[in-house]
Amino acid sequence: MAERGRGWARAVRGLLLDVSGVLYDSGADGGVPIAGSAEAVRRIKASGLKLQLCTNETQATRENFVRKLRAMGFDVSVAQVTAPAPAACRLLRERGLRPHLLVHDDLVPEFAEINKTNPNCVVLGDAAENFTYANLNKAFRLLIGMEKPVLISLGKGRYYKETDGLKLDVGAYMKALEYACDVQAEVVGKPAKRFFESALAELGVPPEQAIMIGDDIVNDVGGAQQCGMRALQVRTGKYRPSDENHPEVKPDAYVNNLAEAVDIILQEL
């Protein structure tokens, strides 16, 4: 059961949910829902609580991502998804940046309206099989050749869980390019404060009335708490028992899964 009492569950108007590791475990076959998660989403919506998915998913456009979730039984819409690629496109337009993309093939359509000629920055996402030496070296050469290199990363996760085990995430490759080019990446996805603030704005709820639920102790829980939200860690997805001894981040509660969190929150409404 959840720890540290249930005060964290009170006065809630909206929930931000991580997706991979909370709603489902991804995999080569599309992934599988985590037991009870689809019903939990239905109960959230029926309760009148506001709901926003806050994800670092960068292997698909939001449209295809939502199509996959709906096929798994999740009643969600594109408008309910806050994801890094649209945020990165806004940033690129604001600053007149032309990206070289090192991202998953299925994410490229998100950047269709962005000028990519004569790149003056690199955008890095979870490129999966595209993380070859040749592709990383091309990104390195572009950055090292810039007077003021700009590296934009669609997240900084270390790893995530798929159905066949843990997989290296974009943060590991981001760190390699940072080190090689002596540059500090600008992170667009979680745990960036601006990203959480954007999700809260889309949710339409102030941080003190929102709860973030995720499986990543640093990017989900720590990032949300820095924005003034309460945050729970589920014991699904990439969760590991050692997370409960993290030296810096302490969730407002641990829950076994999303369904348990929703049970407790709805009891307090």
What pLDDT, in 10s, does the model give residues 57-79? 999 999 999 999 999 999 999 99
Contact, 75 vs 39, CB < 8 A? no
**Residue 136, φ and ψ in degrees, nearest 5:** -65, -40
What pLDDT, in 10s, does the model give residues 83-132? 999 999 999 999 999 999 999 999 999 999 999 999 999 999 999 999 99
Q: Which residues of the chain have pLDDT under 70?
A: 1-5
- Rounded CA separation 61/244 (Å): 33
Residue 86 CB-half CA count within 13 A: 13
Instruction: Return the pLDDT at 7.
Output: 86
The CA-CA-CA angle for residues 50, 153, 61, to 5°, reads: 55
Domain coordinates in residue numbering, the chain: 14-56+190-262, 88-187
- State the pTM of this model: 0.90
Instruction: Return the pLDDT at 26.
Output: 87
CATH code for the domain defined by 14-56+190-262: 3.40.50.1000
CATH code for the domain defined by 88-187: 3.40.50.1000
Instruction: Return the pLDDT at 2.
Output: 52
Instruction: Return the pLDDT at 1.
Output: 45
Instruction: Return the pLDDT at 29.
Output: 78
**Pairing relationship of beta strands 159-162 and 165-168 according to DSSP bridges:** antiparallel
Q: Which residues contact 126 (CB under 8 A, 6 or more apart)?
A: 56, 58, 59, 103, 104, 154, 155, 169, 170
Instruction: Return the pLDDT at 269.
Output: 86
